[in-house]
């Protein structure tokens, strides 16, 4: 279960605000938007806009980034030319049709949490 450590680490509000923060990054990335810094003028503008609408207070720093990263314990590595390493919090292959077309490789699982249900462990 991944929801438990997440809730242990962060309050529900923090989680929402962290996710919104990451979503702004994703939005910039997908739309190829430039900013003057990692969390520059444009990022702050978007964060402020969402804050005003939803009453959140999106953090402009990455205080919680490491905690979120540490929860991404399912790792896949592409065996194709791109050699991409994908870390995800959920046990789902990062394979996409777009990647298949572009790279042709397959994502091979290289790491997963000890408590992953798919993996049967013998108690020592």
Edge-first strand listing for the sheet containing 74-78: 85-88, 74-78, 107-111
Closest distance to Zn ion from the beta carbon of 10 (Å):
15
Asked if residue 103 binds Zn ion (CB under 5 A), the reply is yes
Nearer to Zn ion, 80 or 113 (CB): 80
Asked if residue 20 binds Zn ion (CB under 5 A), the reply is no
Closest distance to Zn ion from the beta carbon of 96 (Å):
10
Catalytic status, residue 69: no
Asked if residue 94 binds Zn ion (CB under 5 A), the reply is no
Region for residue 104 given its phi and psi (left: phi exceeds 0; alpha: psi -120 to 50; beta: otherwise): left
Asked if residue 50 binds Zn ion (CB under 5 A), the reply is no
Asked if residue 82 binds Zn ion (CB under 5 A), the reply is yes
Single residue of 35, 105, 113, 116 touching Zn ion by CB under 5 A: 105
Single residue of 47, 50, 71, 78 touching Zn ion by CB under 5 A: 78
Catalytic residues: 22
Q: Which residues bind Zn ion (CB under 5 A)?
A: 78, 80, 82, 103, 105
């Amino acid at each position: 279960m991944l929801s438990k450590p997440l809730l242990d680490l962060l309050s529900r509000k923090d989680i929402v605000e962290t996710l919104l923060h990451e979503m702004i990054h994703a939005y910039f990335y997908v739309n190829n938007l430039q900013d003057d810094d990692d969390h520059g003028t444009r990022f702050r503008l978007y964060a402020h806009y969402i804050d005003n609408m939803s009453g959140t207070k999106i953090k402009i720093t990455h205080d919680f980034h490491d905690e979120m990263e540490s929860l991404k314990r399912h790792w896949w590595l592409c065996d194709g030319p791109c050699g991409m390493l994908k870390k995800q919090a959920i046990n789902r292959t990062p394979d996409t049709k777009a990647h298949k077309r572009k790279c042709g490789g397959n994502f091979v699982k290289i790491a997963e949490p000890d408590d992953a249900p798919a993996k049967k462990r013998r108690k020592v």
